[in-house]
Homo-oligomer: A and B are copies of this chain.
Amino acid sequence: MVEAATPTEDTPRDEDERAAARYQIGEVAERTGVTQRTLRFYEEKGLLRPSDRMEGGFRLYSENDIERITQIRGMQQLLGLTLAEIKEMVEAEELRAQMRATFRPDRELPARKARTEKIIDAVRRQLTIVETKLHALEAMQHELAERLATVEARRQQIIDAMETGQPLPDN
C-alpha cells in the first residue's frame, strides 16, 4: 500500500459532527474482504450506493457503508439469500436511515408511523428467517452429534478388540 491517492482521511475528532472518514474502493475492499468488482457489482444491483464520490468520480465509502457491506455478506452467506432478496431488506434499512436523518418534522406523524411500521415488518421478516434457519441448524447439529457418538463408540470397540485379543462385540 503506497497511499498514492489518499482521500479525506480525517479522523472524525474535533467539532460536533465532522465530515466522517471516507474510504476509496481499494481500502474498503481490503478491509471487508470483498473485491472491488463485487462492490461495483453491488452498486449496479442497487444494494449499496457509496455515499459520495470525488470530483473525478472515485467512489467514497463511509464507515456506515462498510457496515452495510458486512451486513450484505452475512445475509448472503449465513442466510443464503439472493442479492435480489437482500435488496428488499436493504431498502427497508434505507428507510430507517432516512427517518433518522429527517429533521423531526413533527407534522405528519401518521406518515412517520407508517414508515416505522414498514421497517418493523421488514425486521420481523428477517428475524423469522434467521430463526427458522437456526432451528434447522440445531436439528442438524444434534443429528451430527449423535452420529459422531456412535461412530466413536464403534472405534472404541475396535480398539478394545485389538488390545484384548479378538472378540469384537456383536454391535
Contacts and interface: CB of A to CB of B under 8 A. Distances in A.
A162 interface: yes
Interface of A: 74, 77-80, 96, 104, 106, 109-110, 112-113, 116-117, 119-120, 123-124, 126-127, 130-131, 133-134, 136-138, 140-141, 144-145, 147-148, 151-152, 154-155, 158-159, 161-162, 166, 168
What's the dominant secondary structure at chain A's contact region? helix
A147 B123 contact: yes
Given A126-B144, A162-B109, A168-B104, A151 B74 contact: no
Contacts of A168: 104, 106, 109
B116 A162 contact: no
Which of A112, A117, A119, A137: most chain B Cβ within 10 A?
A: A137
B120 A148 contact: yes
Contacts of A124: 148
Given A96-B151, A123-B148, A136-B78, A110 B162 contact: yes
Contacts of A141: 127, 130-131, 134
Nearest to A96: B151
8 contacts: A77-B80, A109-B161, A112-B158, A116-B158, A123-B144, A123-B148, A123-B151, A126-B144
